[in-house]
A and B are shown apart, each in its own frame.
Chain A
Amino acid sequence: MFRNNYDNDSVTFSPQGRIFQVEYASEAVKQGSVVVGIVSKTHAVLVALKRNAEELSSYQKKVIAIDEHLGLSLAGLASDARVLSNFMKQQSLSSRLTYGRAIPIERLVSAIGDRAQTNTQHYGKRPYGVGLLVAGVDETGPHLFEFQPSGMTQEMVACAIGARSQMARTYLERNLDAFASCGREELVKHGLRALKESLAQDKELTVENCSVGVVGIKGEGMKSIEGFKLFDGQEVQVWVDMVADGAEAEGESMEVDA
């Protein structure tokens, strides 16, 4: 039944130097549906594939707005993401109340990183079973951060986590050079195309299973920002149509494997 003796808690190392509970938590992230994030010089976008547990149920929420200037998307246990996002909302609000300032993205991500890390160092606690992509803008411009259950956080240019996300990552790596100069629309389209790569054979992007989150800057620094906005349902129709099979055939050359 047990793989070994070293996975009963998250504070014990295996002789190979691994902490199995943390690795299992990462598996939970890989079970979650895929989310993609990309950042350019002016915008950061999150694109997510939503799943419904059954035909009759609604789709699970994948993108959460935290504050005017940032939001996140999740892959893994949605309830753990709720705990983390509620904490992030509190921190953002506290920064606005005490300093009248939008919290710097890096600082907020470090804060949840620290929280997740303590879970891997205290007996009786468990790691968060969720991975996050955090997108936002602050006075140093747009940012995208990745968060893992281990407590690891890092800034990314583009990132995809969740089930079959390797396909999306391959797309992102192939188009990496284009992202920096992309406008908002182009960036969303890249995100959706990356998402499409990760789709299972019989699935396609629809207005039901797509969520898009966009945030950006309009001028220098934080003077005028395009606040984080979540697009769902009919609001993503135009984008979904744009990247649908066949729609891109003319004009752009389709990438074909040799």
Chain B
Amino acid sequence: MNHLPQAWGRPRDDVYGPYDSSYLQSNQSHGPTQHTQSPVVTGTSVIALKFKDGVVIAADNLASYGSLARFTDVKRLRKFAGTSIVGFGGDVSDMQYLDRLLNSLDIEEAYSTAGHTLNAKNLHTFLSKVLYKRRTDFNPLWNQVLVAGLDDDSKPFLASADLLGTTFSAPSLATGFGAHLAQPLLRKVAGDEEAAAKLTKEQAIEAVKESMKVLFYRDARSLDKYSIAVITKDGIELKEDEKLENQSWAFADQIRGYGTQIN
């Protein structure tokens, strides 16, 4: 099991053995053109959960440089057209590229003709095509994104797209480490669409906040400062400077080198 963005899209070393790159010349002027083969500055998990009127999505505000917590105020939830949120995991510079792309798309849409907007479903389709095109060019955008908003029927919409162009949809979704740790917790709250359709906004927010806390306990590339957004028909409530509350490190009491060590 390896959740790190550096391992995304690669054959598993434990199954196939390490990649034999001996045939490649170390000199870049020989051999095939190489694009980004690993991300540099990365964001960790994004988690999201549907409820009866909308979607809750959250991501922490950290951009790591390897294992160094390099930037602690990076907003990884981006608004689109005031109706959708895109949450980015993976490479931060690729996130910034996609953000610029989405902004120009938004402006283009708003300028051309009135009354037409791209909803979250349209946005997800678009993003998945961009990601797939780039991986087909052997120049992938090293991200996994969650798109949250409403679909054609104004029902809650949540879907993911990754650097390979793979798409996936479920009542709860999580990227990166969150896919291992937060997803089971969210599934306990909303295992299927029926269960999600019964959740209230407060229950959904509570479940997401609780999952963010667990992620901070166990994910060494995470931060206790995070952004959270609630998307409903009425619009988006985006809070970008939240702090994890009621942390309890009691479980780590006897473990050295874990959590915040006092002595």
Contact = CB atoms under 8 A, between A and B. Distances in A.
A106 B239 CA distance: 37
A231 to B, nearest CB: 28
Contacts of B125: 98-101
A203 interface: no
A47 to B, nearest CB: 27
Contacts of B113: 104, 106-107, 110
B121 interface: yes
B130 to A, nearest CB: 9
A158 B172 CA distance: 49
B115 A223 contact: no
A140 interface: yes
A223 B116 contact: no
Interface size grouping (class) on chain A: 10 to 19
A110 B112 contact: yes
Interface residues of B, number: 13
B116 A140 contact: yes
Interface string A209-224: 0000000000000110
Nearest to A109: B113
B112 to A, nearest CB: 6
A186 interface: no
B169 to A, nearest CB: 13
A134 to B, nearest CB: 14
Contacts of A223: 152-153
Which of A100, A106, A138 has its CB near the most chain B CB atoms (within 10 A)? A100
Contact of B112 (A101, A107, A140): A107
A104 B116 CA distance: 7
Interface string A82-116: 00000000000000011111001011001000000
25 contacts: A98-B126, A99-B122, A99-B123, A99-B125, A99-B126, A100-B122, A101-B118, A101-B122, A101-B125, A104-B113, A104-B115, A104-B116, A106-B113, A107-B112, A107-B113, A107-B116, A110-B113, A138-B116, A139-B115, A139-B116, A140-B115, A140-B116, A222-B152, A223-B152, A223-B153
